Every structure is written in structure tokens, then in C-alpha cells.
Amino acid sequence: MLRDRRNRPPVGGRDLVAAGLSRRRGLAAAPSRRGPARAPAWLGVGVAAMALALPAARPTVAAAATAASKERQILQCVNRERTTRGLPKLRRSTPLTRAARFHARQMRAKRFFDHRDPAGRGPLERVRRYTTRFTTVGENIAAGHASAAATCRQWMASPGHRANILRPQYRALGVGYASGGRWRHTWVQVFAG
């Protein structure tokens, strides 16, 4: 088993530390402060290239269950707000949920907070990656609150976000939640009609 200079075991079964990479707060391997990734000469170039090509960290089973529970709570809150105002409930959409989760995880990993990602894609382009069934798309994003109830209250207190939640044209909702990163809790709602 390979170890780095400080005699620590490898991360995730591969020696990312030896390749100049480290893990921080559940994010994918990120460049360390020691400079560019370099493997020891005796390892060869292939190991460093493998370590750099590792995919982003996937949530654990427990974290995924917690995220799914929080996402369900947001859907319940939205439907409660809509029904008290005489609007139909939104149904959960798997493609919209995938788009919302993708954006939440991307904002966490790439450390940005915006409706447009660093490549310039907006909500409609992200939704089109997963489905073409919808013609109208809206998005709410939030960060910071740990609970779904606090996040829902935050959105309902904002006129623009509340308008998305209560728009009669929407009939489906996808919710994404990502923990960790700069804001600790990142939330995305994707509406479609």
C-alpha cells in the first residue's frame, strides 16, 4: 500500500496525496497548496493521471437518504403553499430532480452561486440535458439554511422566489440539495410546465 511523506494511508484506495491532491469537506479531489500534481518518480506517470481523472465524490448512502428527505420536505412545503392559495399541487419530476441535483452539486464543487453555471448554461439548458417534455422552466436557488423549512420560508419571503413557487403554469418540480462546500447547504428548485 502506498503512503505519502507523512505516512498517511491513501484516500479512497488510491494515493491521491502522493499525486499532490487532497480531499476537503467531501468535495472531489482538489489541487493541494503544495503546487501542481506530481507523483513520485518511482510511481511513473500513469498513477498521477489516474488520480487526476477520478470522478467527483459521490454522496454516501446515508447522505443521499438525508438529501432525498430534505428534497421531499421542500416539495411538501411548496405544495402546502400552493394549495392554501387554491393552486394545484406540483408533482415530483425525476428529470427535473436530476437537473436540480446536478446544479446544486456543481455550485458546491465549483464554488459559485448563480443561475448560470461557469460554462454559461442556464436552467433551460440544464433541464434539456434530462428531458425535452417541458416548455416553461423556472429556478430558485438558496444557500446557507440547514433545514428545508427555513429554506422554504426564505423563498416565500422573497417576491421573485414566491412568484416561481406560486406560478399557475408550473405543474412539475425537481428539488436538489447538496451539503458541504462554501455555503454548507445548497438548495435548487427547478419548476416546469
* pTM of the predicted structure, to 2 decimals: 0.67
Cross-strand pairs, 31? 21
Q: What pLDDT was estimated at residue 183?
A: 85
Tell me the mean pLDDT in the region 39-64. 45
Tell me the mean pLDDT in the region 59-64. 64
Residue among 32, 35, 24 at smallest CA distance from 57: 24
Q: What pLDDT was estimated at residue 62?
A: 64
In angstroms, how far is CA 109 from the centroid of its own chain? Answer: 8
Burial readout 6-15 (b: 16 or more C-beta within 10 A, e: otherwise)? eeeebbeebb
| H or E segment to which residue 11 belongs | none
Band the pLDDT of 182: cuts 50, 70, 90.
confident
* Total residue count of the chain as it appears in this document: 193
> How far apart (Å, rounded) are the C-alpha atoms in residues 38 and 58?
25
pLDDT at 36 over 60: no
Residue 115, judged by CB atoms within 10 A of its CB (0-12, 13-18, 19+), counts as: middle
Cell numbers for 179 = 451539503
In angstroms, how far is CA 66 from the centroid of its own chain? Answer: 14
Radius of gyration of the chain (CA): 20
pLDDT at 144 over 60: yes
Of the listed ranges 12-21, 137-146, 170-179, the least confidently predicted one is: 12-21
Q: Mean pLDDT score of the chain, rounded to an integer?
A: 76
